[in-house]
């Protein structure tokens, strides 16, 4: 049996090593976190980059079994920000030197939506002197749509795989044409081919999920050679089908610890990628995001959605910042990051170094 020290001295991990690291007790997991923090400082810097998150609309044509804004949840009040509201949020990010924004919606794919996003990208770039790094998180789309948005200046795209194990994927999604595992993989490949910085991620602590699945997820991310990752704990939502399995879930605190371990292991495996401290961590622990920063994450997504819409973008329970405004989140995160001892990379894009290295190699 290897010791934690000998595993952490390695430059990369086998599946068995990862399972060992995911099973560590308190003392050993702190060693894992320190090692991840060390790697982050060596390969990146002490800077944490902001992506101002605009939850543009909760309209969604999908029915993912875990998600509070699935089309089947009739309790949700649907909203769709106007272009002006999105522009105001983007300007807030620019004026406050956030460097980047991320636009997120449920999944809608039609010609109008594609064109609306094209138009918005133009408007945002004009209003902010082309100075913001724009990330999109708008679900599965055609190659052509991805290419059109890229041509309009979007540089990063987030599309979580949710689970890299096909069987588990189909426990989380209805098994129909609209929720196809292969399609998801093909979208990620297409984003990479077009030239985006590609981000993905998984949920952690799902019903039916084992440590083996989680180890496979990390190895899959390494194999796919992603540029960015955001992965957080699964937080059950009462108005979803997956809530029926709440009794077989591991406790929230364990899901939280597993999410931190996943972050730390990924940082050691993929030294120069961008890793986000996901908001879902803070749904479980008020200091969740700071803890992720201390074990390898280097990206944080302050919510800049206008306050009165925030309550309606509830993917899971206990989502933080619902009653706050963009400026509150800014001050709050500034104080929180300051406490971790890291700095905020104001006015910088904070692009994925892994992506630049990947492009140079090819
Ligand atoms: N718990 C945690 N994360 C969730 N997401 C959706 N629903 C939940 C939930 N109940 C995540 C998914 C999705 C992202 C936008 O939010 O991973 O990709
Ligand atoms: Fe829609 Fe995304 Fe929620 Fe699935 S996870 S229901 S695609 S918003
Ligand atoms: Fe939004 Fe703290 S980050 S209020």
Residues 6+ apart with CB under 8 A from 75: 239
Residue 256 pLDDT > 90: yes
Ligand nearest to the CA of residue 69, numbered in listed order:
2
Per-residue pLDDT tens digits for 35-65: 999 999 999 999 999 999 999 999 999 999 9
**Residue to mutate, 67, 184, 228, ligand 1, most ligand atoms under 8 Å from C-beta:** 67
Q: Kindly state whether residue 96 falls inside one of the protein's structural domains.
A: yes
Question: Nearest Cα to 32, choosing from 42, 49, 18?
Answer: 18
User: Does 4 fall in a domain?
Assistant: no
pLDDT tens track for 195-223: 999 999 999 999 999 999 999 999 999 99
Ligand 2 lined by 273 (C-beta under 6 Å): no
pLDDT in the model for residue 361? 86
Would the CB of 328 count as within 6 Å of ligand 3? yes
Q: Is the CB of 313 under 6 A from ligand 1?
A: no
Task: Please report whether residue 6 resides in a domain.
Answer: no
Query: Which residue do the tokens 């992603």 mark?
Result: 226
pLDDT digits (tens, 9 = 90+) for 135-155: 999 999 999 999 999 999 999
Measured by CA distance, the residue closest to atom 2 of ligand 1 is 234
Q: What is the pLDDT of residue 308?
A: 86
Does residue 2 lie within any of the structural domains? Answer: no
Total domain count, the chain: 1
Among 211, 253, 269, 197, which Cα is nearest to 49's?
197
- Interval 180-205 mean pLDDT: 98
Distance of CA 104 to CAs 119, 184, 313, Å? 16, 17, 10
Structural domain of 318 = 12-361
Query: Do the domain assignments include residue 1?
Result: no
Residue 180 pLDDT more than 80? Answer: yes
Secondary structure (DSSP) of 222-288: HHHT-SEEE-EE----TTSGGGGGGGGSPPHHHHHHHHHHHHHHHHHHSTTSEEE--THHHHH-TTH
| Cα 301 to middle of ligand 3, angstroms | 10
**Residue 3 located in a structural domain:** no
Among 66, 68, 54, residue whose Cα is nearest residue 319: 68
Query: Residue 2: pLDDT above 90?
Result: no
Q: What average pLDDT does range 3-31 have in this prediction?
A: 96
Nearest atom in ligand 1 to the alpha carbon of residue 231 is: 17
Q: How confident is the model over 61-111, as pLDDT tens digits?
A: 999 999 999 999 999 999 999 999 999 999 999 999 999 999 999 999 999
For ligand 2, say whether the CB of 265 is within 6 Å of any of its atoms: no
Q: Counting ligands in written order, which one lies closest to the CA of residue 64?
A: 2
Res. 1: pLDDT tops 80: no
Cut 0.95: pTM above it: yes
CATH number of the CATH domain containing 48: 3.20.20.70
Closest by alpha carbon to 14, among 218, 194, 280? Answer: 218
* Residue 307 pLDDT level (bands cut at 50, 70, 90): confident
Distance 332 CA to ligand 3 centre (A): 5
Q: Given the structure tokens 């599309």, which residue do they identify?
A: 159
Cα 203 to ligand 3 centroid, rounded to whole Å: 22
| SS3 label, residue 7 | helix
Ligand 3 close to Cβ of residue 326 (< 6 A): no
Please write the tens of the pLDDT for every residue from 111-135: 999 999 999 999 999 999 999 999 9
Do the bridges between strand 154-158 and strand 203-204 make them parallel or antiparallel, or are there none, so unpaired? Answer: unpaired
Output the average pLDDT for the chain. 96
Closest-approaching ligand to the CA atom of 71: 2
**Contact yes or no for 330/250 (Cβ under 8 A):** no
């Amino acid at each position: 049996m290897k010791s934690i020290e000998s595993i952490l001295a390695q430059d990369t991990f086998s599946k068995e090593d990862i399972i060992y690291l995911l099973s560590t007790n308190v003392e050993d997991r702190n060693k894992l976190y320190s090692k991840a923090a060390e790697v982050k400082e060596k390969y990146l810097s002490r800077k944490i980059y902001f992506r101002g998150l605009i939850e543009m609309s909760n309209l969604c044509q999908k029915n993912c079994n875990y998600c509070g804004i699935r089309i089947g949840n009739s309790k949700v009040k649907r909203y769709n920000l106007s272009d002006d509201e999105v522009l105001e949020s983007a300007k807030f990010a620019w004026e406050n030197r956030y460097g980047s924004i991320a636009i997120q919606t449920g999944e809608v794919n039609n010609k109008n939506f594609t064109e609306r996003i094209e138009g918005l990208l133009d408007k945002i770039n004009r209003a902010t002197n082309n100075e913001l790094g724009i990330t999109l998180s708008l679900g599965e789309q055609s190659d052509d749509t991805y290419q059109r948005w890229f041509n309009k200046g979007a540089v990063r795209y987030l599309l979580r795989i949710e689970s890299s194990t096909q069987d588990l994927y189909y426990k989380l999604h209805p098994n129909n044409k609209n929720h196809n595992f292969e399609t998801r993989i093909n979208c990620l490949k297409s984003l990479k081919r077009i030239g985006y910085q590609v981000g993905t991620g998984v949920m952690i602590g799902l019903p039916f999920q084992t440590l083996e699945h989680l180890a496979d997820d990390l190895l899959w991310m390494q194999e796919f050679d992603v540029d960015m990752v955001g992965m957080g704990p699964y937080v059950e939502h009462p108005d979803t089908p997956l809530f029926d399995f709440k009794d077989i879930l591991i406790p929230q605190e364990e899901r939280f610890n597993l999410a931190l371990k996943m972050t730390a292991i990924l940082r050691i495996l993929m030294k120069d990628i961008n890793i986000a401290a996901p908001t879902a961590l803070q749904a479980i622990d008020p200091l969740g995001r700071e803890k992720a920063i201390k074990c390898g994450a280097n990206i944080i997504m302050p919510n800049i959605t206008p306050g009165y819409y925030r309550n309606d973008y509830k993917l899971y329970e206990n989502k933080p910042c619902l009653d706050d405004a963009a400026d509150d989140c800014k001050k709050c995160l500034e104080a929180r990051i300051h406490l971790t001892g890291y700095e905020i990379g104001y006015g910088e894009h904070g692009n994925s170094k892994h992506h630049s290295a990947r492009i140079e190699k090819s």
